[in-house]
A = this chain, B = another copy of it.
């Protein structure tokens, strides 16, 4: 598996314009942080016309993935890509938009059961193909093999936790 570079690349050193050569570890870290920001900007722009934030969209997709089965707050938090501390208020926003419902759990009244509404499903149905197309476009500069490799490298990077 090779990475072919067919055109001039704007690499991270050119962007942050550092005078001295960065150590490889820092370069990779800065590049990851920078690229995530770049990506978030693109996603926000794409979602802007739908009046929903990335976080809200993410939660909606988690609930949709539950296939009818309600989720409680801690389940949502576990599965969220970025764990913000206040899932309660995030869900509040989705309720205000009519996309989700919240009821107190009968078996354990400390818990709440959160489900996506029909309106929420319709909304996702509209937005999903648009996001799918966006995701394909934004990753188009990488081949299938390169995307797989990127996934593996990111997985492996995080394994420091379990490998230390």
Whether A44 sits at the interface, judged by CB under 8 Å, is no
Interface size band for A? 35 or more
Whether B32 and A35, one on each chain, are in contact in the complex, defined by CB atoms closer than 8 angstroms, is yes
Per-position 1/0 for A87-130, Cβ under 8 A of B: 00000000000000000000000000000000000000000000
Whether A30 and B81, one on each chain, are in contact in the complex, defined by CB atoms closer than 8 angstroms, is yes
Per-position 1/0 for A1-39, Cβ under 8 A of B: 111010111111001111110011111111111111111
Whether A11 and B151, one on each chain, are in contact in the complex, defined by CB atoms closer than 8 angstroms, is yes
Known A31-B151, A159-B9: A25·B146 in contact at CB below 8 Å: no
Tell me which residues across on chain B come within 8 A of A3, comparing CB atoms.
Answer: 149, 152-153, 156
Closest beta carbon of chain B to A45's beta carbon, Å? 13
- In the assembled complex, the Cα of A139 lies from the Cα of B139 at a distance in Å of 24
Across the interface, A25 reaches (CB within 8 A) one of B20, B147, B161, B162, namely: B147
- In the assembled complex, the Cα of A82 lies from the Cα of B36 at a distance in Å of 9
Q: Of residues A2, A139, A163, which shows the largest number of chain B Cβ atoms within 10 Å of its Cβ?
A: A139
Question: Which residue from chain B places its CB closest to the CB of A37 in the assembled complex?
Answer: B82
